[in-house]
Structure formats: C-alpha cells, structure tokens
A and B are shown apart, each in its own frame.
Chain A
Amino acid sequence: MTTNVPAVDVHGAAAEARPKNFINWSSGFMSWAGTLDHKRIGLMYLVGVSIAFLCGGLFALLVRLHLWEPNGALFSNAQYNQIFTLHGAFMVFIFVIPAIPGSLGNIILPLMLGAKDVALPRLNLLSFYLWLTGAVLATLAIVLGGFDTGWTFYTPYSLYTNQAVVTIGLAVFVLGFSSIFTGLNFIVTTHKLRAPGMTWFRMPLFVWALYATSLLQVLATPVLGITVLLVAFERLYHIGIFDPRLGGDPVLFEHFFWFYSHPAVYIMVLPAFGIISELVSVHSRKPLFGYKLIAFSSLAIAIISFLVWGHHMFTSGQSTYAMFAFSFLTFFVAIPTAIKEFSWVATVWKGSIALNSPMLYTLAFLVIFAIGGLTGVILGALNVDIHLHDTYFVVAHFHYVMMGSIALAFFAGVHHWWPKMFGVIYNETLAKIACGIIFIGFNTTFIPQFIMGSRGMPRRYATYVPEYAPFHQASTIGVIILAVGIALMVYYLVASLFQRKKAMENQWGGVTLEWLAPTPPPLENFNEPPVVTNEVYDYSTLDLQTMRTPVK
C-alpha cells in the first residue's frame, strides 16, 4: 500500500466551483416528469418502489394479523386469498424486481462508470413510465374485483377465477417490458460509456452484478411476457393450450412461468449481491477478496439459473429423470453463491471495519443470506422437497432471500449512497437502532415459519389447525417488530431531508468514481470527465483526513 498513483485524474481545479446539482438545477413538475437525467429518473423510481414496498408490507401485516387465530381473525377466506396475492404481486413485480436496478442502479451505475448518463436516456424514462403504468394497472385490478391466484397465476385456476386476471396479467406484461428496457440500457451503457481507463476488470462489482442482472432481464423476461399474454388470450378467446378442458396442458404453463421466474429470482438477488460487494469493501477499507471470482460468479449464476426451473415443479408430475437433473443442477447454483459469501467474509476479515449503519445492514445481510441460501440447498434436494413442498418452510426460505437479503441490501445501499444522492446525512444512532429492530423482527417472523413448515403447515391457507397457533403468533409478533423498525427507518430518512445536516463529499471513504463526483452530482455528473488510472478498490491513495483521493 505504498503507491502514490492518483486514483483518478481530473484536469483543472474546476472541482472547487459549485454549480447547481441535479436536484435543484431546474424545477417545476415537467422538469421531473419529462426528465432524461438518470439521477432524477432513479430518484422517482426510489420514491415509487418505496411506496410499493410500504403497500406490500401493509398487505403482509394484514395477512399476519389475520393468522393470529386458527380460524382467521380479520377476513373471509376469499378476502384473505386476495390480500396475500396482493402482497406477493406487489412485492415481487412492483418492488423487488425494479427496486435496486431502477433506483440505485439508475443513479449509481453511470456515476461508477464515469459516464454523463445512461446510454439511452429516453428509453430509461419510458421504462419508468411503463413501471408506473404497471403499478397503476395492478392497483386498478384490485378495484376491478381483485385477483386471488397467488403471484404465480397457476393455470387452470387462473383461467376460471374472477375477471381481474387479465388486468393484472397486462400489468405484469408492462412491468416486464419496463424491466427489459432497464436491463437493455445498462448493458449498452456498460459496453459503450465507460470512462477512459475503466477496463472491464476495473469496474466496481455493483456494475458487474447489474450487468449479469441485465442479461437475465433481457433473456428471461420476454418468456414471462408471452406467458401472461397467453393466459390473457386463454381467458379472452380460449386458445386451449393451458386449459385441460380444451386439450391444453396446465403444466406447460408452469414450465413457461418458471423458465422466467427462476432466473427472476436472480434478477432480484444479483443487484443485492452487488451492493453488498461494494459495502463490505468500503466499510472494511480493504480491496475485495476474490474480485474476479465475484464478478464471474455473477455470470455463472446467470447462466445456471436458466437450467433449474424444474425444481419448482417436483410435485407437478414431470418426468422422474427430469427431476433428477433439475435437482442436481440446482445444487450447482450453490457453488458461485457460496464463492460470493466466502469472499465477502474474507474481505471483512482483518479489515479496518467501520460499523457505520450501512455496514450494520450489510452484516445483517451476511447472516440472513447464509440461512436463506443454505435452506435453498435443502429445498433443492428432491426427496426432502417432496416433504417440504408448498409448506411454510418454503415461505420462510424465500423470505430470507427476498426480504431478509434483498430488501436489507436495498436498505444498506440506500443508507450508503444517501449522502451522495441528497448531500445530507441521517441520524446515525437511530439508523443503528432501526437496523437492530429490523434484524430481530425479521428473524422472529420467519424462524417460527421454518419450524412449522417442517412440521407440515401448508402455505397460503387462510386457516390452520390450532397446534400451529404458537408459531403463527410468534411470527405475527415478529412482523409487528419488523414494522416498527421500518417505520423508524422511514422516519429518520425522511427527517434527514428536512434537517439538512450536511454530508461529507465522500462520507465513507469510497474510492469508486461516484465518490469523486460533487455531492449531490450536477446534471452531467462530473465537473471534468474522469480518467481512470488506478485499479478498482485501491484504498492506498485515500487521504483519511479529507476522505479524498489526490487529483492532478
């Protein structure tokens, strides 16, 4: 750590002049609604997906409160079916899939690459409006009678149930194209808009993760698009291909659906991995252990994820030999995933760890994701899965990944880049307390679900036998704790915008390019286009007094 090569070469001293930033350089409704700036679009996404998350969370709270009593405390069974479907559909399609790429990805990816914007800014805005249209359509579907199919829309039930399935199908189709366009944009941006000197192996791992995600978005989502379109046609004019009354095959739907929806799991989780990779390095002030391994493992996960969809269908009557293959291939996903987990832990090890709130969220992620990942291997084992299929064990497993890992990584990223995005810093003490409450609440919610699932409690039911009541009640108490933690988090984050406690230019001592841009960044991000001369995550030139890397 003795080199004194400047991390980034910025010509001239214009960095001192403070022009207006991207938030205040223009004002008025149209300057936001019609903006082509990636940071403003990202900010609109951030607001949007946060509202979607709070809606989805509210539905979850209602579901859990209902399950306090074995016969259901609040709703009729039909209402319960609609509410848990809403929870799933909002969380999966409107929150988790677009959350990290749409908000943090949009804002940070061009900054990390040293670009002025994403390559296709108009497409970026279109992607946001498609997201908005999808969210509105989904809300409209509630008004039009609701839908009770679960977020998976399994045929034949989705063909026979009430009318709003076409509306929600359309919503999913539109949201799918929003996701495709974001991915497409990031691929082009990564290929074409890297700053001079930013080679592929100097790219931060958040960029690598978003790149792998984008490949999945572009290659898997169209299949979901045509699948929901076919379900809509099936309802409108009875094609018959999914309808057993008309000679169709409902299992074909499952194949189509999971061909998308298993890779979709990685569309959701890879960006989270990317955030964690950044944060373990910055807050341990240590280059990432196994940088290339992490980069390639993202691509490996992307490729393997196309070959394992059948593990969702172990009880659907597919051929036994196919099940062997799908189970076997599923285990392979564990390898690149474990490489990441080990690399993160090895990065933290002997690092100069700063227990800032983003780091606390990151450490919480590392614990929760280890549990979420390992229970996935248990479920991938064919014989065990026959027992656990469609029980709360599965629910707990994917919530450890979706909520415990992805949402926590999203929170970690929001906390990490908050000072860069807004130029203000939140109340750090409250942030640490909220992180603790969320961690405790989350585990209290889902550990009982593992136990009752392994004892046979089936998922999705509105009522249950009284033997499961203690587990359900513990889980409901957990979700209330979780809700308190999240409410606290929302409070201090929003409050920080009004208290305006100024953040440092480089709050945590990061050395990726976004920390070199002014805080908050101006319209075209950098006062002078950066030229990269240093390896990625090289902290040797960071001045700990000023948190700046030297500039020419």
Chain B
Amino acid sequence: MSHDGHHSVVIPAPGPEFQAHTVAHHFDTPVQEFQSAKLGFWLFLATEILLFGGLFAAYFYFHEVYPETFRLGGQQLSWKLGALNTSVLLLSSWTMAMGVRCAQTSQKSKLLMYCGLTVLGAAIFMVIKFIEYKAKNDHGLVVFSELFSPYNEATGQLAWFKDYHNAMVDKAGVPLPHGHLFFAIYLTMTAIHGLHVVIGAGLILWVMKGAAKGRFHAGYYLPVDLVGLYWHLVDLIWIFLFPLLYLVP
C-alpha cells in the first residue's frame, strides 16, 4: 500500500488494445476505489427504490379505496404486451450481465456486442411502450394532446380522460368514481420507469464509447459494473410494476 500521494497507483492495460487506469489520487489502492464506488452506487440504488416506494404506496392506497376502478382499469391494459415487454427486459438483463462478464475477462468485442444487444432491448421496450400508450390515447383513457389542459371546475371533467368506449362503468352503465385515477397512476409509474429505461440506455451507450477505446478490462471494469447494476434495477422495478398494473385486478 503506497502512502505517497504524489505518485498515483496505475493499473496496467492487459494488451495493446486496452488503456491503463490511473487510480484517483485520494485512494491508496484500486480495491479501495472499487469498493467505495460500489458502496456509493448501492446507496444510490436504494434511493431509487425509495423514490418508487412513494409511487407504490400511492398505488396500494388507491387500490384499496377504489378496488373496482383498479379492477376494470387493469383490464384495459394488454397483459400480452406487458408480458412481452417483461421478457424483453429480462433478456436484456441477461445480455447486460454477460457484458459485465466480458469486461471482467477483457473481451472487448464481445463486451461491445452484449452492450449493443442490451440497448436494442431497451429500444424494443420503448417501442412496445409507445404502442401501448397509443392504444390508451385512442381509447380516450389517456389523451396525450389534452394532458396539460386545465381542469374544468364547472363540469368536473378532466380533459385527458374521455373514455370513448365507456370502459370504466359499472354493470348499470354508470361511470365509476374517479376512473381516471388508475390511468393517472399507470401513466406516472410507467413514464418515470420509461425515463429510467432511456437513461439506462444512454449510460450503456456511454459505456460502449469507453469500451471501444479499450478503457475496460480485467484490471478495471468499474463503470461497466455500475451501469450493469443500474440496468438490473430498472428491470427489477418493472418486475414489480408488471403484475401490479397488468395482472393484479
């Protein structure tokens, strides 16, 4: 362990196509740097889970208060598309894990390939998401063009919730109380999750840029590892969202 702050610790590159990594000046060893970043990232992931925790709490509360709204609302979602998206994300988690493995074993081209596949999975996920949103839009359950229109105090009508096909009515044909609530929560949760998918894909592209330059190898693969963890979290949150929104009713 070197205590000398003036000479930084350098991890050599395993081959000519790779770059050496210089450990940050305030760390004594590469292990210390690796463990610090990893601990910090796990704590960050905990804050992400707590952020979604607030949304989940709201979901459970209103599921309890308006069970019929949530039952019928859930039926309006396509469980087939949801299941397809779940498998896409699960597969992409696998490709990401393989990418991390390839970084650890200094396999540059395979790392790039697996990262590319993961980004492809993210893209497919977002396309399917778009198809789903489009359907909600066409049924008047979430009219995106009216999303930011003001609430009409006089009629008590929400501009973005029109329900063209009377999906959210009881057996007698009377509209359920606050049928929009299910879709508001659906939209908020899936949109924030979708934002995470996009950010995750951006991070993986950034990893690919570094990988192409040979920054990541058996001696130094920390960013790949952390982005991988982030991607698994995005996947994990969806694993909870899918049954709650599409299947639970």
**Most chain B Cβ neighbours within 10 Å, of A184, A192, A218, A221:** A192
**Contact assessment for A239 and B148 in the assembled complex, using a CB-CB cutoff below 8 Å:** no
Partner of A120, one of B32, B36, B177, B184: B36
Contacts known (A248-B181, A524-B25, A524-B26); A237 close to B147, Cβ less than 8 A: yes
Partner of A115, one of B26, B156, B180, B184: B26
Residues of B within 8 A of A230 (CB): 54, 58, 188
Contacts known (A119-B36, A239-B188, A240-B184); A223 close to B54, Cβ less than 8 A: yes
Number of A-B pairs, beta carbon distance below 8 Å: 114
Give the CA-CA distance A26 to B57 in the complex, in Å: 50
Residues of A within 8 A of B206 (CB): none
Interface residues of B in 1-31 (CB under 8 A from A): 3, 5, 24-26
Q: Is the C-beta of B120 less than 8 angstroms from some C-beta in chain A? A: no
Q: Is the C-beta of A529 less than 8 angstroms from some C-beta in chain B? A: yes
Q: Is the C-beta of B130 less than 8 angstroms from some C-beta in chain A? A: no
Stretch binding the partner chain, chosen from B39-47, B101-109, B237-245: B39-47
Interface size range on A against B: 35 or more
Expressed in whole angstroms, the minimum distance between the Cβ of B73 and any Cβ of chain A is 13
Q: Is the C-beta of B213 less than 8 angstroms from some C-beta in chain A? A: no
**Contact assessment for A184 and B58 in the assembled complex, using a CB-CB cutoff below 8 Å:** no
Residues of A within 8 A of B177 (CB): 247
Q: Is the C-beta of B132 less than 8 angstroms from some C-beta in chain A? A: no
Give the CA-CA distance A236 to B184 in the complex, in Å: 12
Q: Is the C-beta of B94 less than 8 angstroms from some C-beta in chain A? A: no
Q: Is the C-beta of A303 less than 8 angstroms from some C-beta in chain B? A: no
B-side interface residues, number (CB < 8 Å): 41
Name which residue of chain B comes closest to A118, CB basis: B26
**Contact assessment for B3 and A233 in the assembled complex, using a CB-CB cutoff below 8 Å:** no
Give the CA-CA distance A290 to B153 in the complex, in Å: 61
Q: Is the C-beta of B134 less than 8 angstroms from some C-beta in chain A? A: no
Expressed in whole angstroms, the minimum distance between the Cβ of A551 and any Cβ of chain B is 15
Contacts known (A116-B26, A117-B26, A529-B3); A222 close to B47, Cβ less than 8 A: yes
Name which residue of chain A comes closest to B62, CB basis: A241
Q: Is the C-beta of B158 less than 8 angstroms from some C-beta in chain A? A: yes
**Contact assessment for B26 and A193 in the assembled complex, using a CB-CB cutoff below 8 Å:** yes
Residues of B within 8 A of A246 (CB): 151, 158, 178, 180-181
Interface residues of A in 233-284 (CB under 8 A from B): 233, 236-241, 245-249, 252, 256
Contacts known (A119-B40, A184-B40); A222 close to B66, Cβ less than 8 A: no
Instruction: List 15 A-B residue pairs with CB atoms under 8 Å apart, sorted by A's residue number.
Output: A120-B37, A120-B40, A121-B24, A123-B40, A218-B43, A218-B47, A221-B47, A226-B54, A230-B54, A230-B58, A238-B151, A241-B58, A247-B177, A252-B58, A528-B3
A188-B36, A219-B47, A524-B25 known, 15 other contacts, Cβ within 8 Å: A117-B26, A119-B26, A120-B36, A184-B43, A187-B43, A192-B35, A193-B32, A222-B51, A226-B51, A227-B54, A230-B54, A230-B188, A245-B156, A247-B181, A529-B5
